[in-house]
Amino acid sequence: MKIAILGTGNLGVSLAKGLIFSNAFTSLYLTKRNSDAIKDFEEYSKVKVTADNREAVQNSDILLLSVQPTQLERILEEIKDLLTDKHVIISTVTGFKIPRIEAIIGEDQFIIRAMPNTAIAVGKSMTCLCCNEKGKKRIAIAEAIFNRLGTSIIIPENKMQAATVICASGIAFWMRLIRATSQGAVQLGFDAKEAQQLAVHTCLGAASLLIESGKHPEEEIDRVTTPRGCTIEGLNEMEHNGLSSSLIKGLQASFKKINNISEK
Ligand SMILES: NC(=O)C1=CN([C@@H]2O[C@H](COP(=O)(O)OP(=O)(O)OC[C@H]3O[C@@H](n4cnc5c(N)ncnc54)[C@H](O)[C@@H]3O)[C@@H](O)[C@H]2O)C=CC1
Ligand SMILES: O=C(O)[C@@H]1CCC=N1
């Protein structure tokens, strides 16, 4: 696969790392206006760094667009005359809906929207995908790319905003929960390094149990909570202080914000 990432910022760099470490391309173009900032990627074979989006498009088949929402229209205008039937356009841009993309480059293009997260750098992204009518013929390519870099599901476009909150912003939310656990562990006597090790591996274990078994979290909680024991004591104290409620309210606030942003 000849892949280009147009707009190699925070997410684009994560995407590039994931693609490089999974050896998932025959050539990889990375573009950025200040391309010197990502020049180090040229140490990897088959990777070309440039500020020239048109050069990247002409030499690639899969175009991953990863710019800010306000920058997408300009970049689409810049490349639209170069688009041919070989190109698959995959946009990670938040809130920029398919009809708006079609209005710029035309309906007769393979257009896919992807909502990955920064864990794509380590091959563990949860990525949600949707596409336009024509894109249905190429969605399997997007699935192949993102399944190699984690897990993907196809969803209707009207759920992309919610997917952004849960999966993309979700990385930040889970980081805070892990940090809070580490802070608690330090207070209980572990040094900072040990505390983080305990927190991340317990988090990984909890997620892995559910992934492997497909069980509901409460079933696994039942296995841990000894009657009158310390686990239920801690859980109930957390709930009295609004753990679940605060998380759900945070997700709702984030969803409200994303809808406000994309209406503008
Ligand atoms: N950061 C994240 O975790 C996630 C971000 N997204 C979405 O992906 C998009 C990118 O996000 P970030 O990487 O965080 O933003 P960013 O601002 O870090 O990266 C955008 C990059 O595009 C470059 N750029 C802008 N105009 C350009 C042009 N005309 N030609 C070439 N490069 C150009 C900028 O220099 C910058 O490096 C956004 O729309 C964001 O909402 C989606 C999922 C997760
Ligand atoms: O915080 C944001 O608005 C963007 C969208 C998802 C991740 N970063």
Q: Domain map of the chain by residue range?
A: 2-155, 170-263
Model confidence band, residue 262 (pLDDT cutoffs 50, 70, 90)? confident
Binding site for NADP(+), by residue number, is: 6-11
Helix (H, G, I), strand (E, B) or coil at 198: helix
Label residue 7 left, alpha or beta by phi (over 0 means left) and psi (-120 to 50 means alpha).
left
Pocket test for ligand 1, best of 11, 124, 259 (most atoms within 8 A of CB): 11
Pocket test for ligand 2, best of 67, 68, 94 (most atoms within 8 A of CB): 94
Indicate whether residue 125 lines ligand 2 (CB < 6 A).
no
Indicate whether residue 90 lines ligand 2 (CB < 6 A).
no
How high does pLDDT run on average in the chain?
A: 97
pLDDT above 70 (res 98): yes
Q: What distance in angstroms lies between residue 92's CA and the mean position of ligand 1's atoms?
A: 9
200-249 pLDDT, tens per residue? 999 999 999 999 999 999 999 999 999 999 999 999 999 999 999 999 99
Average pLDDT over residues 8-21: 96
Assign a CATH topology to domain 170-263. ProC C-terminal domain-like fold (1.10.3730)
pLDDT above 70 (res 158): yes
Separation between Cα atoms, residue 222 and residue 232, nearest integer Å: 9
54-89 pLDDT, tens per residue? 999 999 999 999 999 999 999 999 999 999 999 999
Question: Minimum-distance ligand to the CA of 261?
Answer: 2
Q: Give the bridge partners for 65, in sequence order.
A: 6, 91
Q: What distance in angstroms lies between residue 11's CA and the mean position of ligand 2's atoms?
A: 10
pLDDT above 70 (res 264): no
Q: What is the CATH number of domain 2-155?
A: 3.40.50.720
Q: What distance in angstroms lies between residue 206's CA and the mean position of ligand 1's atoms?
A: 32
Indicate whether residue 168 lines ligand 2 (CB < 6 A).
yes
